Each structure stands twice: as structure tokens, then as C-alpha cells.
Amino acid sequence: MEKIVVQGGDNRLVGSVTIEGAKNAVLPLLAATILASKGKTVLQNVPILSDVFTMNQVVRGLNAKVDFDEEAHVVEVDATGDITEEAPYKYVSKMRASIVVLGPILARVGHAKVSMPGGCTIGSRPIDLHLKGLEAMGAKITQTAGYIEAKADHLHGAHIYMDFPSVGATQNLMMAATLADGVTVIENAAREPEIVDLAIFLNEMGAKVKGAGTETITVTGVENLHGTTHTVVQDRIEAGTFMVAAAMTGGDVLVRDAVWEHNRPLISKLLEMGVEVTEESEGIRVRSQLENLKAVHVKTLPHPGFPTDMQAQFTALMTVAKGESTMVETVFENRFQHLEEMRRMGLHSEIIRDTARIVGGQALQGAEVLSTDLRASAALILTGLVAQGETVVGKLVHLDRGYYRFHEKLAQLGAKIQRIEANDEEE
């Protein structure tokens, strides 16, 4: 097992960093490739992440040909053969996001059997909204022996109101609706940039999707979709993580290719804290002076609110801003586990229901800590940059799901960080 070792205390980050294509965009895009019954699909700017390898396996398991040219960051998918209906437990259990194959398989084959995603450390994460939407489009859903089966010879258009703007449900329903008879309207749809990227991709494949990025998405079904070439949108969460890293080390970092509009909620909070954030032709530049950082109050919300996927990293930043900050987590019910680990580093914090109170500006000490989920792993590494002494972060399996060469990118900015082989960890 590998670990990340950070020598903390003097890690002012300076320079520029390049970010990858978005994990949360490419996973549904890969699922959508199976909708193309004609021609090959080429995805460019694909990040090299374990979640991408998992989704490639899921799509291969459906009988599509998938080639990943890692050097070129390109995935080519040929889904012109007979697509099979089953996404088995061995892959879905590795990654919850594989549930987004349900809509595309059903639309293409008329019958889908997808393993139920299991529990998750950050929350219970039901999929009722995915299933309700598909039922409204005419699917018969049954759940047996850990599998969801959905059947519909012909999905039909429907008017669907989502109780909550779920990202995954919006994606599943959008994809299913592309091949349904008639018009589907999804109200209270998720508005994340990754939803917009998926809609652009589907339209490039011949679909008729309108309104992505707003609360109402309208999809007019077509007979079939074809392959295309598409460049994956940049990863706003990876970009945001480096923006936070720069801010909390009193650094000066240009995050190349970061999209200002996608990071608006984060930028507004950084500005409120006293961080300098500017839009430059090559990306977003973040400069900060630690003595100027002010405590702030943040609440996570669906986009365009503050992203829950930046919550853990932002709490790391709160630890260096003098005074009492609060973080309210409204999207997932159990996403503060990193704070328990940070307490081992000397953090004064208190969690009451969905609100964490963080007392910033206290000296933290390096410690041995464990990643509890993907974004928590980044948050703990960032905290290690500012703590005194050595921090050792274990369970990097989480980090590798969503960050490509994270320690190398930080080291290039001047961080004292290494990734080492360690034998004492049990998975």
C-alpha cells in the first residue's frame, strides 16, 4: 500500500498547474457512448483515473469495444455491435457512478439489468429519482437479488419533476430520453457543468437536447444516435482543489485552463475570505496572504451553489483563517469524516447535525491519518501542507479515483511531498 508523506509548515505554493478532463463528466459520457449504434466515438482529454478504468470495464462488459490510449488521453468506443443488457456487481460495486449505464442500456436494448449500488461512506445515496423518472417514461422496474431490472420495448416521452436536482438521475433520464418516442421534459434538473457537457455530447451524437444548464431540460427522442468526437470539459473540482491549496499556503498559483464560470461559487467564497482571484487568458490565478484570510460561512448546495465536492478541501482552508468558520453540508448526510481525522492533527471543530464549526488559525501538527473518501483524501493532504511536522496520509485508493498525479503536481508547485510504498496498511 502506498502513502503520501508531507513535510508541513513551509509549503508556499508558487507556479502554474495544469488540470485534467473532469472525472464527473467523462463517466456519464462513457456510459452514453453505448447509445451510438452507428460509427465510433472518440473522447479526448480523458483523465487517467481508476474510476475511468472501472467505467471502461463496465462499457466493455456491455459488449462495446473500448480502447484507452493513455498517452494521448483518448478513449475510442465502438458500440455498433449487439449491446448486452447486464452491468454486473463486480464493476458496479467498485463505483456507484456506474448506475448511469441504466438509462442508456434501457434506451438502446429495451431491457437493462444493473447491479444495485451498495452503501457509501458519505451518505445513503438512494436511486429512487432515477427509477421514478424511468417509470414515468414507461419502464417496468423490478428489484431482485441485488439487481435492478428495467424493461420497456419503447420508452415514451414524459413530464418528470425531480424532487431534488440529482446529477446522476438527470444524466440517466436525459440519456434514456434521447431514444424515447416523443418529448421528455425534466423539471428541477441538475445544472452542473457536467450535465451541460453531456448534453453537448448527446447533441453531437444526433440527439435533440435543449435547456441543459437550466432547471428545465427538454429532450425530443430520435430514432438512433451515431458516434462522434468530443473533448471532455475541464475538471472544476481538481481546479478548485488547487485554488484552495494556493489560498491556504499563502501562495501564487495559476490554474491553467480552469473555467471561471464553473468555479463561480468557490471563487465568490475565496474573495470573501480575502483571497485574490483573477481571470487570466490561460486560466485562474489565485494569490493570498495568510494574515489577511477571514473566517467565512459556507453552505453546500446543488450547482450553482457551493459544490459538496469542494466541501472537504474548503474546510482545510478554513483551518488557516483566523476565527470561527462554519460549513453546512446539505447534499450528503455524512460528509464530515475528514474533520475527525483533522482533529487528530489538532483541529478545533464541532459538528452539530449538518453544520461544522471550525476554529481557524490554531497551530496544527502533522499526524498519521486515513482518507475516508475521495475529496477527504485531498483535504487531508492539503492540511498536511500547513501543519507542523510530518503528515502521512493512507488509503490512497480514494485519491486515485479522482486525482491524477496529485503529489507530483503539488511538488512542482513547491510542496514537500512524496508518495511512498508502505507495508503496514490493511485494506
Closer to ligand UD1 at the Cβ: 172 or 178? 172
| Residue 396, C-beta contacts closer than 8 angstroms, at least 6 positions apart | 1, 2, 3, 4, 371, 377, 419
Q: DSSP letters along 160-226, please?
A: EE-SS--HHHHHHHHHHHHTSBSEEEEES----HHHHHHHHHHHHTT-EEE-BTBSEEEEE--S-EE
Is 378 near ligand UD1 (CB under 6 A)?
Answer: no
331 labelled as ligand-binding? yes
Q: How far is the CB of 310 from ligand UD1 (least distance, A)?
A: 10
d(CA 45, CA 246): 24
Q: Which positions from 329 through 348 interact with ligand UD1, judged by CB under 6 A?
A: 331-332
Q: Is 308 in the site for ligand UD1 (CB under 6 A)?
A: yes
Contact status: 323 vs ligand UD1 (CB under 6 A): no
Q: Are 230 and 202 in contact (CB under 8 A)?
A: no
Is 168 an interacting residue with respect to ligand UD1 (CB under 6 A)? yes
Which residues inside 73-102 make contact with ligand UD1, applying CB under 6 A?
97
- Nearest of 271, 255, 246 to residue 385 by alpha carbon: 246
Q: Quick one: which of 192, 176, 26 has its CA closest to 98?
A: 26
Residue 125 found at the interface with ligand UD1 (CB under 6 A)? yes
The one among 63, 164, 289, 418 contacting ligand UD1 by CB under 6 A: 164
Q: How far is CA 62 from CA 56, 82, 134, 389, in A?
A: 10, 9, 20, 49
Q: Which amino acid is at 250?
A: G
**What is the rounded distance in angstroms from the CA atom of residue 386 to the CA atom of residue 401?**
24
Is 379 a residue that touches ligand UD1 (CB under 6 A)? no
Q: Does 414 bind ligand UD1 (CB under 6 A)?
A: no
Can 120 be counted among the known catalytic residues?
Answer: yes
Of 40-48, 164-172, 179-187, 201-209, which part binds ligand UD1 (CB under 6 A)? 164-172
Our finding on whether 211 is near ligand UD1 (CB under 6 A) is no
For 301, half-sphere exposure in the C-beta direction (CA atoms, 13 angstrom radius) is: 9
Residues designated catalytic: 120
Residue numbering of the annotated binding site: 23-24, 96, 125-129, 309, 331
Q: Which residues are annotated as a binding site for UDP-N-acetyl-alpha-D-glucosamine?
A: 96, 125-129, 309, 331
Residues near ligand UD1 (CB under 6 A) are 24, 27, 97, 123-130, 164, 166-169, 190, 194, 308-309, 331-332
